[in-house]
Amino acid sequence: MTDLHRDKILILDFGAQYTQLIARRVRELGVYCEIWAWDHDPSEIAAFGARGIILSGGPESTTVDGAPRAPQEAFDSGLPLLGICYGMQTMAKQLGGETESADAREYGHAEVTLVAPDTLFGDLNDHGSRPPRLDVWMSHGDHVAKAPPGFTVTATTARVPVAAFANEGKRWYGVQFHPEVTHTQSGQALLRRFVVEVCGCETLWTAEHIIEDQVARVRDTVGSDEVILGLSGGVDSSVVAALLHRAIGDQLTCVFVDTGLLRWQEGDQVMATFADASDAHGLGIRVIRVDARERYFGALAGVTDPEAKRKIIGNLFVEIFDEQAGKLANAKWLAQGTIYPDVIESAGSKTGKAHVIKSHHNVGGLPEHMKLGLVEPLRELFKDEVRRIGVALGLPHEMVHRHPFPGPGLGVRILGEVKAEYADILARADAVFIEELRKAGLYDKTSQAFAVFLPVKSVGVVGDARAYEWVIALRAVETVDFMTAHWAHLPYDFLGRVSNRIINEVRGVSRVVYDVSGKPPATIEWE
Ligand code: XMP
């Protein structure tokens, strides 16, 4: 079997927003990489066995005492190095060059001129010019004023005297600009030159190899034991289900809890996709479907505080899952859809200097007393890789490319008290919105779109009579990281069509409004 971790890159993170992007680009090239905080135990570097090290950008200034430094072990390793932005600046500083702060930050497009050929740039040339020039993207305050001894300045710009440098003998390189962002035209080609030409990595990291590797590892880990998985219908748990099924077949049992707070007909869809083996589309996985709707609505009756609702929904899930797991006497393992960004986030930098972007977690975790071993086959993967292997495992494209759906589901999209009647209205209205988005080719252009139930009655005319009925709000946003978001500028005629359909088809709704608030200050969800 291919050892797909054989050729790998280590990325030392100085806290840049773009570090995960560097890792994703390296993975897209077909090479495994890991992100470690810059102050990760340096004695582990040699044992890790990378073929090269990338030093990321970061928010600090090398001109300040006590700023983060690359570990000496990185230089002593004899491995190729690529410093990006801050990573380049700290190389300069640590190796005897000079850095300085500029009066103003440089942010955005720049053109670099390649002034001395090296292996990193090779024959890259965005303009076919002499000397070669590249269109790049810059984001920095400081820059390198003087390259260290043994280094050649390989690129300059009008503003930055040392836009790139190289020590070909040692295979150490630095670039002031960001090759990982798509605005740098030849950025991916440049990363390929480092990873493949300079470090000599073979491109083994493909969806097929990842599946093959994980299947083998899961079999190795669990042997003939049984495994349980909470299947939510979301991307991560769905891919875990398909992957484990491929690895261990009927040793896997999934528990699907129908909370009554899911998308329209989601329970049936989950069963059709995963459990049903009677047609070509079903995977034939053992899925226990728990109808817990009444329990959820009972527990939520009279509760209006959003955080209290979240707690109740999360705790009840744990309780129900626990009951089901208790019935599977032979289950020794619990599978979870933890993905790499969760792992990076919980590792973080020991000094807390790296920017930790908080993510939401659905439930607090399962009780200790369950004493199950953990199987987390997506721990090494970014979301886009999870999607790719999902498709390769035969999951429907639509399911794998779904918008995110919060753990508490419709529970936080029904403002105030949650009732079965409201959940039904909301799920129907939401289904109309999503169906129309897909029909109009707008679904993939928005990052998240959904309907919200507003517990206010507004007047409408039904036939000749006035009727007071509920209000549905539509929310659609465009975002990269879900930390900030713009409201999606959906066409008026499209919104009109959705509104008409909801009012005509969903009983109990007399008015539809569109949310035009950005985040910040408004959050994406309404609660
Ligand atoms: P906000 O509303 O904070 O949402 O702007 C950002 C992203 O997080 C999702 N979200 C949640 N996900 N449990 C979850 O699993 C939650 O309690 C929760 N609250 C918000 C939201 O859907 C969006 O994608």
Q: Sign of the CA dihedral 403, 404, 407, 408? A: negative
- The minimum-distance atom of ligand 1 relative to the CA of 519 is 5
> Ligand 1 centre from 412 Cα, in Å?
9
Contact 194, 354 (CB under 8 A): no
For residue 168, what are the CA distances in angstroms to 50, 108, 118, 152, 474? 19, 29, 7, 9, 57
Helix (H, G, I), strand (E, B) or coil at 403: coil
pLDDT of residue 463: 76
Q: Name the β-bridge partners of 153.
A: 165
Return the CATH number of 419-514, one of 3.10.110.10, 3.30.300.10, 3.40.50.300, 3.40.50.620. 3.30.300.10
pLDDT of residue 358: 30
Active site residues: 85, 178, 180
Pocket test residue of 358, 360, 448, 486 for ligand 1, highest count of atoms within 8 A of CB: 360
Helix (H, G, I), strand (E, B) or coil at 46: helix
Residues having CB closer than 6 A to ligand 1 are 310, 360, 362, 404, 406-408, 448, 482, 519, 523-525
Return the CATH number of 207-400, one of 3.90.1150.10, 3.40.640.10, 3.40.50.620, 3.40.50.1980. 3.40.50.620
Q: What is the 3-state secondary structure (H, E, C) of 444-508?
A: HHCCEEEEEEEEEEEEEEECCEEEEEEEEEEEEEECCCCCCEEECCCCHHHHHHHHHHHHHHCCC
pLDDT of residue 455: 97
> Ligand 1: which residue has its CA nearest to atom 18?
406
> Ligand 1 centre from 492 Cα, in Å?
27
> Ligand 1 centre from 449 Cα, in Å?
12
Q: Provide φ and ψ at 512, rounded to 5°.
A: -125, 130
> Ligand 1: which residue has its CA nearest to atom 24?
404
In the chain, domain spans = 8-198, 207-400, 419-514
The CATH number of the structural domain formed by 8-198 is 3.40.50.880
- Rounded CA-CA distance 28/383 in Å is 12
Pocket test residue of 311, 338, 430, 524 for ligand 1, highest count of atoms within 8 A of CB: 524
> Ligand 1 centre from 75 Cα, in Å?
42
Contact 144, 176 (CB under 8 A): yes
- Rounded CA-CA distance 317/296 in Å is 9
- The predicted model scores a pTM of 0.89
pLDDT in tens, the chain (527 residues): 789 999 999 999 999 989 999 999 999 999 999 999 999 999 999 999 999 999 999 999 999 999 999 999 999 999 999 999 999 999 999 999 999 998 888 999 999 999 999 999 999 999 999 999 999 999 999 999 999 999 999 999 999 999 999 999 999 999 999 999 999 999 999 999 999 999 999 999 999 999 999 999 999 999 999 999 999 989 999 999 999 999 999 999 999 999 999 999 999 999 999 998 776 667 899 999 999 999 999 999 999 999 999 999 999 999 999 999 989 988 999 999 999 988 887 776 655 433 333 333 333 455 566 678 999 999 999 999 999 999 999 999 999 999 999 999 999 999 999 999 999 999 999 999 999 999 999 999 999 999 999 999 999 887 778 889 999 999 999 998 898 999 999 999 999 999 999 999 999 999 999 999 999 999 999 99
- Rounded CA-CA distance 45/40 in Å is 9
Binding residues for ATP: 232-238
> Ligand 1: which residue has its CA nearest to atom 3?
523
207-400 and 419-514 in the same fold: no
